Structure 1
Amino acid sequence: MAPDKTGPLPERFADIKKDIAASYPEFQERATKAWAEIIQALGETTASIVEKGSEYIPQVYFKDLKNLDRETVDRIRRVGTVIIRDIVDDAEAAKWKEDLKTFVKENPDVDGFPEPNKQFFELYWTKPQVKARSHPNLLAASTWLNQLYHLKSGAADTTLEGVDLSVPLTYADRFRIRHPGQVWNFHPPHVDGGTIERWEEPNFRKCFSDILEGNWRAHDAYDLEGRLNARTSLYGRPSQVGPSHSAKYFGSVLTNAKSTVFRTFQGWLAMSETGPGEGTLKTFPDVLLSNAYIILRPFFRPICSGDALLDPKNWEFDLSSPEFPGIFPKDGGYGGPHPTPLLHPHLQLQKTMTSMPKVYPGDAVFWHCDVIHEVEGAHDGSDDSAVMYIPAVPKTPMNLAYVARQKECFLDGQRPPDFPKGTGEKGWVGVGAVEDVTSQVGRVAMGLQA
Structure 2
Amino acid sequence: MALSTDNMPQQIRDLKKMLRDNMPDYRERFKQVSEAMEAEVARIKQEEAAGSAIPQFEYADIAAHGFSDAQRAKVLQSGCCIIRHTLPADEVSAHNEALSRYIIDNGYYDHIPTVEDNYFSQLKSDKPQIFGIYWSQAQIWARQHPNMAVARRNLNRLWTWQEGDKTFFDPDREASYADRVRRREPGDATLGLSPHVDSGSIERWIEPHYREVYHDVFFGDWKNYQAFHGANRIEVEEYPSPAVCSVFRTFQGWVALTPQGKGDGTLQMVPSSLAMPYMLLRALQDDVPEDDLCGAAPGRALTVSPKWHPLLLEGLVSIPQMQPGDTVWWHPDTIHAVEDKHNGTEYSNVLFIGAAPDCGKNRTFLAKQRTAFLNGESCPDFAPEHHEKSYAGRATLDDLTELGRHQMGFE
Three-state SS of the structure 2 residue aligned to 1:361 is coil
- Contact kept, 8 Å, 2:265 with 2:342, in 1: the verdict is yes
Shifted more, 360-369 versus 440-449: the winner is: 440-449
Change (3 A) 1:185 1:96: closer
Change (3 A) 1:74 1:386: same
Structure 2 equivalent of residue 171 of structure 1: 177
Q: Does 1:297 align with 2:282?
A: yes
Which of residues 193, 196, 200 in structure 2 aligns to 1:187? 193
Change (3 A) 1:362 1:420: same
Three-state SS of the structure 2 residue aligned to 1:261 is coil
**Equivalent residue letter for 2:67:** L
Structure 1 equivalent of residue 160 of structure 2: 150
Deviation at 1:422, TM superposition (A): 2.2
Structure 2 equivalent of residue 445 of structure 1: 407
Structure 2 equivalent of residue 260 of structure 1: 246
Distance in 1, Cα, partners of 2:301 & 2:13: 17
Deviation at 1:334, TM superposition (A): 4.9
**Equivalent residue letter for 1:93:** V
Distance in 1, Cα, partners of 2:77 & 2:108: 44
Distance in 1, Cα, partners of 2:339 & 2:246: 26
Shifted more, 178-187 versus 92-101: the winner is: 178-187
**Equivalent residue letter for 2:95:** W
- The one-character-per-residue Cα deviations of 1:82-105 (angstroms, maximum 9, x if unpaired) are 101111100011111100111122
- The one-character-per-residue Cα deviations of 1:71-121 (angstroms, maximum 9, x if unpaired) are 111101110111011111000111111001111221114558765333321
Structure 2 equivalent of residue 323 of structure 1: 292
Percent of residue pairs bearing the same amino acid type: 32
Trace 1:80-95 onto structure 2 (pairs within 5 A). 80-95=79-94
- Contact kept, 8 Å, 1:143 with 1:166, in 2: the verdict is yes
Distance in 2, Cα, partners of 1:64 & 1:186: 34
Distance in 2, Cα, partners of 1:86 & 1:207: 33
**Could you tell me the TM-score, scaled by structure 2's length?**
0.90
Which of residues 120, 136, 140 in structure 1 aligns to 2:146? 136
Three-state SS of the structure 2 residue aligned to 1:84 is strand
**Equivalent residue letter for 2:227:** A
**Equivalent residue letter for 2:321:** K
Change (3 A) 1:143 1:353: same
Shifted more, 112-121 versus 398-407: the winner is: 112-121
Distance in 2, Cα, partners of 1:403 & 1:336: 23
Deviation at 1:158, TM superposition (A): 4.3
**Equivalent residue letter for 2:295:** G
- The one-character-per-residue Cα deviations of 1:299-321 (angstroms, maximum 9, x if unpaired) are 2134xxxxxxxxxxxxxxx8x81
Distance in 1, Cα, partners of 2:190 & 2:385: 24
- Contact kept, 8 Å, 1:205 with 1:226, in 2: the verdict is no
Trace 1:241-390 onto structure 2 (pairs within 5 A). 257-287=243-273, 289-302=274-287, 321-328=290-297, 333-347=298-312, 349=313, 351-390=314-353
- Contact kept, 8 Å, 2:135 with 2:373, in 1: the verdict is yes
Distance in 2, Cα, partners of 1:434 & 1:9: 44
Trace 1:6-21 onto structure 2 (pairs within 5 A). 10-21=9-20
Three-state SS of the structure 2 residue aligned to 1:407 is helix
Q: Does 1:229 align with 2:228?
A: no
Unmatched 5+ residue regions in structure 2?
1-6, 114-122
Aligned length: 390
Three-state SS of the structure 2 residue aligned to 1:301 is coil
Shifted more, 137-146 versus 169-178: the winner is: 137-146
Q: Detail structure 1 runs of 4+ shifted over 4 Å in the superposition.
A: 110-115, 151-154
**Equivalent residue letter for 1:218:** N
- Contact kept, 8 Å, 1:204 with 1:230, in 2: the verdict is yes
Distance in 1, Cα, partners of 2:72 & 2:31: 28
Distance in 1, Cα, partners of 2:343 & 2:74: 30
Distance in 1, Cα, partners of 2:339 & 2:98: 26
Distance in 2, Cα, partners of 1:181 & 1:212: 44
- Contact kept, 8 Å, 2:258 with 2:349, in 1: the verdict is yes
**Equivalent residue letter for 1:265:** F
Structure 1 equivalent of residue 37 of structure 2: 42
**Could you tell me the TM-score, scaled by structure 1's length?**
0.82
Change (3 A) 1:151 1:131: closer
Distance in 2, Cα, partners of 1:291 & 1:120: 27
